[in-house]
Copies of this chain bind each other. A is one copy, B any other.
Amino acid sequence: MDDRQLLSGIKQQIGRENCLDDCAILPPSPYQLVLTTDMLHETTDFPVPMTDYQIGWMSMAVTISDIAAMGAEPRFLIMALGLDREERLSGIVAGADACVRAHGASYVGGDIDFHSELTIVTTGIGYAIHPPVTRGGCRPGDCIGVTGTLGRAQAGLSGYDEYWNSLIMPMPRVREGISLAAGNATAMMDISDGLILSLYDLLDASGFGSSVRSVDLPVIPDIPRTISEEYALFGGGDFELLFTIREREAIPETVPYTIIGKIIQNPEVLVDGRIAKRSGYLHSWG
């Protein structure tokens, strides 16, 4: 079976009109657009035993989360798929399509290729219906907040089975991202590489440091505190948002959040007053 035959097999899944031309055609946009792309592949990104459906879901979710982290509305998603076995196509596309629909966006095409290792690159376009929130906008004195509970994905990966679904079927914080953009968040990003690493990213972009208190972290309950804190600070795979805002009163009521600290003048990331090691989920070269 060649790539054109494979393509014809998914016309029913994502619509014939999305499989015919060199490009998808999108409407004019009255809004600024945000654009992002993410590469995932089997050995480093898809923990055993994920199903193909879950792999498709997660691949779209990472890109939707990046759009949410700008405070934008996900609109159009495409997927370049390097398949190791053709029979995986249908499940991956079904999961991808479900994730895109669940977040109100459209799956408008992509590319199919053969690859010795399953490799998926998702790309997304969002509408910035509010001014996009970047990483560089925070200032000393801003409150630092996070959505939801931290460390769930790491717990799932570490054997706490009740958190497995948090790891493999992540739900990007799309509505919360838009609400925070509307509420004048000064900086925002997702924490899929871990909280501490994300705070260092804020530092790189803004020049300002951060100080968080471990007692304020929204950790998962029912496991020892030292472990849940470690997961919350350094665990990867959570699709929560990290944001900063001048006054906590400006945070919309619909956003489930916790204030964990403040932006500081000094260019360092502090936890309980001590410099945190720059560690988290990193792809590393030899």
Give chain A's interface residues, CB within 8 Å of chain B.
Answer: 1-4, 6, 20-41, 43-44, 65-67, 69-70, 72, 76, 78-82, 86, 108-111, 113-117, 119, 121, 123, 125-126, 128, 132, 134-136, 189-190, 197, 201, 204-205, 282-285
Smallest Cβ-Cβ distance to A127: which chain B residue: B28
Instruction: Give me 9 other A-B pairs in contact (C-beta within 8 A), A37-B78, A43-B116 excluded.
Output: A1-B285, A25-B34, A28-B30, A37-B110, A39-B80, A39-B82, A41-B113, A80-B121, A121-B123
Query: In the complex, what residues of B have CB within 8 A of residue A113's CB?
Result: 39-41, 44, 283
Query: In the complex, what residues of B have CB within 8 A of residue A67's CB?
Result: 22-23
Interface pair B119/A23, CB less than 8 Å apart: no
Measured between C-beta atoms, what is the minimum distance from A93 to chain B in Å? 15
Interface pair A22/B190, CB less than 8 Å apart: yes
A-B contact pairs, 9 of them (CB 8 A): A4-B201, A21-B205, A23-B34, A26-B34, A37-B110, A39-B81, A39-B111, A82-B119, A114-B283
Measured between C-beta atoms, what is the minimum distance from A148 to chain B in Å? 17
Interface pair A134/B78, CB less than 8 Å apart: no
Interface pair B204/A20, CB less than 8 Å apart: yes
Query: In the complex, what residues of B have CB within 8 A of residue A135's CB?
Result: 20-22
Query: In the complex, what residues of B have CB within 8 A of residue A1's CB?
Result: 284-285
Choose from B35, B114, B205 the contact partner of A20 (Cβ within 8 Å): B205
Report copies per complex. Answer: 2
Measured between C-beta atoms, what is the minimum distance from A251 to chain B in Å? 20
Interface pair B283/A2, CB less than 8 Å apart: yes
The 7 nearest A-B residue pairs measured at CB: A23-B34, A121-B121, A22-B66, A23-B36, A26-B33, A39-B80, A2-B282
Query: In the complex, what residues of B have CB within 8 A of residue A125's CB?
Result: 33, 35, 125
Measured between C-beta atoms, what is the minimum distance from A277 to chain B in Å? 13
Measured between C-beta atoms, what is the minimum distance from A18 to chain B in Å? 11
Measured between C-beta atoms, what is the minimum distance from A72 to chain B in Å? 7
Question: How far apart are the CA atoms of A24 and B76 in the complex, in Å?
Answer: 15
Smallest Cβ-Cβ distance to A79: which chain B residue: B37
Choose from B36, B283, B284 the contact partner of A22 (Cβ within 8 Å): B36
Choose from B2, B78, B204, B285 the contact partner of A123 (Cβ within 8 Å): B78
Query: In the complex, what residues of B have CB within 8 A of residue A285's CB?
Result: 1-2, 6, 86, 114
